[in-house]
Amino acid sequence: MSFVLHGLAVSPGIAIGRASLISHATLEVAQYQVKERDVEAELTRFDAALATVRGELDTLKVEAGAALGAPAELSAFVDLHAMILTDPLLAEVPRQLIRERRCNAEWALVQQLEQITEQFDEIEDAYLRERKHDIIQVVERVLKVLLGHRRKLGRRGRDEEIIIVAHDLSPADTIQFKKLKIGGFVTDVGGATSHTAIVARSLAIPAVVGLHHARGLIQEDELLILDGTRGVLIVAPDQRVLEEYRLRKSELELERSKLKLLKTAHAVTLDGVEIELAVNIELPQDIDKVREVDADGVGLFRTEFLFMNRDDTPGEEEQFEAYRSLVKALPGKPVTIRSLDLGADKVSRGMRAAARIETNPALGRRAIRYCLAEPQLFLVQLRAILRASHYGRVRLLVPMLAHAHEIEQTLVMLSLAKAQLSEAKVKFDERIEVGGMIEIPAAALALGPFLKHLDFLSIGTNDLIQYALAIDRTDESVAYLYDPLHPAVLRLIAMTIAAGRRAGLPVAVCGEMAGDPSLTRLLLGMGLTQFSMHPAQLLEIKQQVMKSDYSLLRGRVARLLRQDEPGRLLEMLLKINAA
Ligand code: PEP
Ligand code: MG
């Protein structure tokens, strides 16, 4: 029977395809009975998964040995995981459970994991207790292999895509879709500017979040229509609806291909003001998409994604190679590399394993706070960025700054990294530009130290809205309050742009607002001339820029900014956009 689910539209477009249910949380695996005659096959499936993980760990160890700068602990850590994998508690007991209870391998493994972790919680020795996380990581690896094998993707029709259906997806999960061909995804939870949604936009695949019970209601392989523009998911559509959506999808594709004609056009307003359109990227591989739209450079490289989906931490060499590859691929263009913004919804496996329970992670030790608390990690990244600066125009961008002392400490760390490189006679750009993200209201309201110490500013509207309006950007239950047009938000942005202009400091916007064509004129009217967004959004924003009169907008937007009444403000914006 056909039914429709409504959620938050987070990434536009239409996908028509088959559901692929995925389970992110370890304990969320399905339980099913295995027939007597299939028990041996289930045991073989379990053994094969163990063997695959053993192979993965062997490869990891070889790679770690070969990689320059890889920490020595890495190899010991891989050995530990290999040892856990062969321990009878994990390799044998689940086999007994499969035999005795005739349950599936995933379920047997998770049951056993629960038993083991309970025992670990009672251990007094903190070091030993912490090993629980290593066991969880090993089990997660095996589960991934088991679940991967179970997925039946073969039944797809020729023009059908895979639509991922999950209860929740972390940004680390979503970034892995870059390697796979995914038509779109839906989740039960999540907010519109969560990093999971941001990654979906960067992949240019439709996505809807906050569907509440989708994962429980949808069957594996069920036919779905995902409308990421309207936030709608149609399950088991009838033929008429299917035809209608096929038509709409091809119309959208046609519009997109028309936009491609703008690739070589200059982003200049009707009255001749040049606008810089740069891109946000998550991985060096995104460079092809940057070239496709001929962007003016990289306005934001979210380096934390290099640290996800792996058990180790990328060392200086690996980071340097990643940064240099980008710089060399964009000769003459600025590449803005943001220092690590781990924390809140973006966590590495190492951070998860450390399991520091934070009640409010978005307000906790995130981004620059984390880096300043982990000086060795920060220095490694700073040295890698500095080394890449020798090969092109690299700019360093620092997230989540709010206090003058954080800016000062960051600059001290940078000087230290420079001194270390100089001593080792390694070349770098002595005058590398350093910028700060304005994403905490306190920073926007007290810009003095930013203007005094830094070379440029970049407004992170995603966090600025989260912190100004006190709503968690990942929580769908408060998503209705996430309002880029709140007068307070608009004033914080306008104030920052104006202060930067007065001080002669370049100001960009790199939050999601920069890629929203309905807000382009508003931002231009505030005096913004530098935008950074996902490559998929750039040509549409260019189209808006080319249709706008900058000087005219300055006056109109100044009047809009004096407006406190939301309904009136929206009316004024609609008029500005329609003119
Ligand atoms: C922002 O906060 O607007 C931003 C660009 O950074 P991120 O989305 O990675 O937090
Ligand atoms: Mg941010």
- Written in H, E and C, the secondary structure of 103-147 is ECHHHHHHHHHHHHHHHHHCCCCHHHHHHHHHHHHHHHHHHHHHH
The single residue listed with the structure tokens 């389970």 is 23
354 versus 166: the higher-pLDDT residue is: 166
Question: Span 227-245, mean pLDDT?
Answer: 96
End-to-end Cα, the chain, rounded Å: 46
* Annotated active-site residue in 167, 195, 371, 534: 195
Question: Span 44-61, mean pLDDT?
Answer: 89
The single residue listed with the structure tokens 């058990």 is 311
CA dihedral 404, 408, 409, 411 (to 10 degrees): 140
Strand partners, 5: 233
Nearest atom in ligand 1 to the alpha carbon of residue 341 is 9
pLDDT digits (tens, 9 = 90+) for 405-418: 999 999 999 999 99
Ordered by where they begin, the domains of the chain are 3-23+167-256 (3.50.30.10), 36-147 (1.10.274.10), 262-578 (3.20.20.60)
Instruction: Check: CB of residue 553 under 8 Å from CB of residue 575.
Output: no
Which one of the ligands is nearest to 194 CA?
A: 1
pLDDT digits (tens, 9 = 90+) for 421-472: 999 999 999 999 999 999 999 999 999 999 999 999 999 999 999 999 999 9
d(CA 286, CA 69): 25
HSE-up (13 A, CA, CB side) for residue 227: 19
HSE-up (13 A, CA, CB side) for residue 324: 16
Instruction: Check: CB of residue 307 under 8 Å from CB of residue 348.
Output: yes
Q: What is the pTM of this model?
A: 0.77
**Ligand 1 binding pocket mutation candidate from 462, 496, 537 (most atoms within 8 A of CB):** 462
Q: Who contacts 45 (Cβ-Cβ below 8 Å, separation ≥6)?
A: 105, 146, 149
User: If you measure from the C-alpha of residue 461 to the centroid of ligand 1, how many angstroms do you get, rounded to a whole number?
Assistant: 7
574 versus 30: the higher-pLDDT residue is: 574
Question: Which range is least confidently modeled, 85-89, 134-138, 244-248?
Answer: 134-138
Would you call 195 a catalytic residue per the annotation?
yes
CB-count burial class (<10 Å; 0-12, 13-18, 19+) for 574: exposed
> What's the pLDDT at 150?
44
DSSP-derived letter for residue 439 is -
> Which residues form the pocket of ligand 1, taking CB atoms under 6 Å from any ligand atom?
198, 300, 302, 341, 439, 460-463, 510-511
Question: Span 501-522, mean pLDDT?
Answer: 97
Give phi and psi for 364, each to the nearest 5: -95, -145
Q: Which amino acid is at 499?
A: A
Would you call 371 a catalytic residue per the annotation?
no
**Ligand 1 binding pocket mutation candidate from 174, 440, 463, 472 (most atoms within 8 A of CB):** 463
d(CA 199, CA 302): 11
HSE-up (13 A, CA, CB side) for residue 275: 32
369 versus 67: the higher-pLDDT residue is: 369
User: If you measure from the C-alpha of residue 512 to the centroid of ligand 2, how many angstroms do you get, rounded to a whole number?
Assistant: 10
d(CA 453, CA 392): 23
User: If you measure from the C-alpha of residue 440 to the centroid of ligand 2, how many angstroms do you get, rounded to a whole number?
Assistant: 9
CB-count burial class (<10 Å; 0-12, 13-18, 19+) for 355: exposed
| Residue 557: both structure tokens together | 């937007």
User: If you measure from the C-alpha of residue 210 to the centroid of ligand 2, how many angstroms do you get, rounded to a whole number?
Assistant: 21
Give 145-154's long-range contacts (Cβ < 8 A, gap of 24+).
Answer: 145/49, 145/52, 145/53, 146/45, 146/46, 146/49, 146/105, 146/106, 146/109, 147/22, 147/23, 147/29, 147/106, 149/45, 149/48, 149/49, 150/106, 151/20, 151/22, 152/220, 152/221, 153/18, 153/20
d(CA 201, CA 194): 11
pLDDT digits (tens, 9 = 90+) for 363-380: 999 999 999 999 999 999
DSSP-derived 3-state class of residue 337: strand
Selection from 469, 448, 465 nearest residue 457 by Cα: 448
d(CA 457, CA 514): 14
